[in-house]
């Protein structure tokens, strides 16, 4: 591959490691803490994970070396959406393996978890790793969203690991993928397999976060990338003084990305889904709040501005969330009947008769395009794919109508001309920031240490991230410790708890105090 000058420069960057991890392997010691408990529903989680529940927290310190140096064959999977730094996780893992034993092998499963089910692999050699150090993207082995969750899939994964002779599997993924990693770790032990499973916390959404996982990797780079673009648009808005820019930002559920970007760029408006849900706002109230802010600026002669809209917003508006849940159920249940209708008009007429009165009312107020997106776009699990719903256009359209009403009532005299943007994919494969380059490399190296110390069912963890890399600490968190039971597709399942924006947390409070 021909590299650009930027790629050549970026390759020279040497990721920084926590001080303890720079020590020779012979003086890197595993320290185990007290036994742990799940965040909630302890009895149920314990029952489902009899072999991996309650393990102690792990930490690596300078001391007497504990890591095995025997040659290992390790498999690695990139799972879910891309996040900047994934290649550096693989580089850190690879360098750790080779540092311990030059005979060790790293095998990449291609295209995400389906790579293991289909036994599609690539040998990750020094040449391969060197081509991808400090680059964005997941293209070294590619990613995918297949979930390993059925008995057949677990059995097949074990079969493939045995066939290749995999000693340990590293799953680089978000909350769902790491839930799968926990189930796989448990399954392997229960079947007498020695294959270890270690997770690495990835997702630009920033919602795989807790006391021990201070940030998922990729969030830093993605938010900086979006913030740069938002800043450019803000400058354009204040230069031209003629447009309101509505920018939808990725984040499947949580509004961490929108909040972080708001703190970095100080837009005129930023909606936070968790606040909308907490205040039990209706769609009309959300629209009113935006229209009122626009009217207030118009009074100052400013008919321009920037509004940030989190991708997951509409599911957090209680009445729209309820509508979506009903739509998912009806369309899944009566799929054959639904498929007879081809025009949106016929589909809408049919669905409105099946919805309860409230949802039918909400559905009828939605613009045509949104109705069609809510009816058509579903993921393999039968859910609406929020990243494909044009919420930014929905808000623009409804705000436009509201401003027209306000104008008629003499409450608004401005001019409203709006443009819609969606920033998502632009940020997921950017060159990792120095932070993500260092963090990811450290996470990968730590994943190797967890393996070389014989652990399984752990998530690689680097802490103290607000300080320089030198002061970071490295260790592992038992995956079961982050779990609770949640209702998924009609069944109670063990899952890693998703971290939403906390309304009493410092980031939101800082934003709320300054937004007026
Ligand atoms: P992960 O949770 O797998 O990291 O993916 C997050 C995300 O980037 C969301 O922000 C977005 O809603 C979704 O992926 C888009 O999915 P896809 O890549 O399948 O279009």
- The pick from 112, 139, 142, 205 for probing ligand 1's pocket by mutation, whose C-beta has the most ligand atoms within 8 angstroms, reads 205
- pLDDT for residue 1: 65
Distant-in-sequence, close-in-space partners of 222: CB < 8 Å, separation ≥ 6: 83, 84, 204, 250, 257, 427, 428, 430
- Give pLDDT tens digits for 141-188: 999 999 998 999 999 999 999 999 999 999 999 999 999 999 999 999
Ligand 1, atom nearest to 216 Cα: 4
- pLDDT for residue 10: 84
- Give pLDDT tens digits for 288-303: 999 999 999 999 999 9
Q: Inform me whether the pLDDT recorded for 20 exceeds 90.
A: no
Nearest CA, atom 20, ligand 1: 387
Q: Inform me whether the pLDDT recorded for 436 exceeds 80.
A: yes
- According to DSSP, the residues that pair with 122 across neighbouring strands are 108
Q: How far is the CA of 81 from the centre of ligand 1 (A)?
A: 4
Q: Inform me whether the pLDDT recorded for 98 exceeds 80.
A: yes
Evaluate: CB of 391 within 6 angstroms of ligand 1.
Answer: no
- When pLDDT is averaged across residues 217-246 and rounded to a whole number, the result is 98
SS (H, E, C) 20-61: HHHCCHHHEEEEEEEECCCCCCHHHHHHHCCCCCCCEEEEEE
In this prediction the pTM is 0.94
CB of 200 within 8 A of CB of 444? Answer: yes
Nearest CA, atom 6, ligand 1: 81
Query: Is 367 exposed, middle or buried, given 0-12, 13-18 or 19+ CB atoms closer than 10 A?
Result: middle
Tokens linked to 7: 């790629």
Distant-in-sequence, close-in-space partners of 160: CB < 8 Å, separation ≥ 6: 116, 117, 119, 166
Confidence of residue 381 (pLDDT cuts 50, 70, 90): low
Q: Inform me whether the pLDDT recorded for 41 exceeds 90.
A: yes
Query: Is 44 exposed, middle or buried, given 0-12, 13-18 or 19+ CB atoms closer than 10 A?
Result: middle
Q: Inform me whether the pLDDT recorded for 388 exceeds 90.
A: no
Residue that is written with structure tokens 């060790």 in the block: 104
- When pLDDT is averaged across residues 28-35 and rounded to a whole number, the result is 96
Q: How far is the CA of 370 from the centre of ligand 1 (A)?
A: 20
Confidence of residue 380 (pLDDT cuts 50, 70, 90): low
CB of 135 within 8 A of CB of 7? Answer: yes
Query: Chain-centre distance of CA 274, in angstroms?
Result: 16
Q: Which residues are catalytic?
A: 205
- pLDDT for residue 2: 77
SS (H, E, C) 157-185: HHHHHHHHCCCEEEEEECHHHHHHHHHHH
Q: Inform me whether the pLDDT recorded for 70 exceeds 70.
A: yes
- pLDDT for residue 397: 94
Closest alpha carbon to 174 in 149, 146, 204: 204
């Amino acid at each position: 591959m021909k590299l650009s000058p930027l790629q050549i420069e970026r390759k020279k960057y040497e990721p920084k490691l926590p001080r303890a991890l720079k020590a020779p392997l012979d003086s890197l010691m595993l320290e185990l803490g007290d036994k742990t408990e799940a965040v909630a529903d302890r009895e149920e989680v314990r029952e489902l994970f009899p072999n991996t529940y309650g393990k102690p927290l792990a930490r690596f310190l300078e001391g007497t070396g504990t890591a095995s140096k025997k040659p290992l064959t390790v498999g690695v999977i990139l799972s879910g959406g891309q996040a900047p730094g994934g290649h550096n996780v693989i580089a850190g893992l690879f360098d750790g393996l080779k540092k311990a034993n030059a005979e060790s092998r790293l095998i990449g499963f291609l295209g995400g978890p389906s790579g293991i089910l289909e036994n599609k692999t690539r040998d990750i050699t020094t040449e391969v790793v060197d081509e991808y150090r400090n680059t964005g993207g997941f293209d070294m082995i590619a990613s995918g969203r297949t979930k390993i969750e059925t008995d057949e899939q677990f059995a097949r994964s074990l079969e493939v690991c045995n066939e290749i002779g995999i000693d340990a599997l590293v799953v680089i993924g978000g909350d769902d993928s790491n839930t799968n990693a926990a189930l796989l770790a448990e399954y392997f032990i229960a079947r007498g397999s020695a294959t270890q499973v270690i997770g690495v916390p990835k997702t630009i959404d920033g919602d795989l976060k807790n006391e021990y996982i201070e940030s998922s990797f990729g969030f830093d780079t993605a938010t900086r990338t979006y913030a740069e673009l938002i800043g450019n648009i803000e400058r354009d808005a204040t230069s031209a003084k003629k447009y309101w820019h509505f920018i939808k930002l990725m984040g499947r559920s949580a509004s961490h990305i929108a909040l972080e970007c708001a703190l970095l760029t100080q837009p005129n408006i930023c909606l936070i889904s968790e606040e909308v849900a907490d205040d039990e706002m209706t769609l009309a109230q959300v629209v009113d709040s935006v229209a009122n802010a626009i009217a207030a600026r118009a009074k100052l002669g400013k008919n321009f501005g920037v509004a940030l809209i989190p991708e997951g917003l509409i599911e957090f508006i209680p009445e729209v969330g309820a509508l979506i849940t009903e739509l998912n159920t009806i369309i899944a249940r009566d799929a054959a009947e639904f498929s007879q209708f081809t025009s949106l008009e016929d589909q809408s007429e049919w669905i409105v008769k099946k919805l309860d009165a409230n949802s039918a009312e909400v559905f009828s107020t939605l613009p045509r395009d949104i109705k069609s997106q809510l009816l058509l776009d579903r993921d393999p699990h039968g859910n609406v794919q929020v990243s494909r719903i044009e919420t930014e256009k929905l808000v623009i359209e409804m705000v436009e109508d509201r401003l027209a009403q306000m104008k008629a009532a003499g409450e608004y005299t401005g001019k409203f001309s709006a443009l819609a943007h969606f920033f998502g994919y632009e940020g997921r494969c950017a060159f990792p920031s120095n932070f993500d380059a260092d963090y990811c490399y450290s996470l990968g190296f730590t994943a190797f240490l967890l393996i070389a110390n014989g652990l399984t069912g752990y998530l690689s963890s680097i802490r103290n991230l607000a300080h320089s890399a030198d002061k970071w600490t490295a260790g592992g968190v038992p995956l079961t410790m982050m779990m609770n039971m949640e209702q998924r597709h009609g069944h109670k399942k063990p899952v890693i708890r998703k971290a939403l924006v906390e309304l009493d947390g410092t980031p939101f409070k800082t934003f709320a105090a300054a937004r007026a």
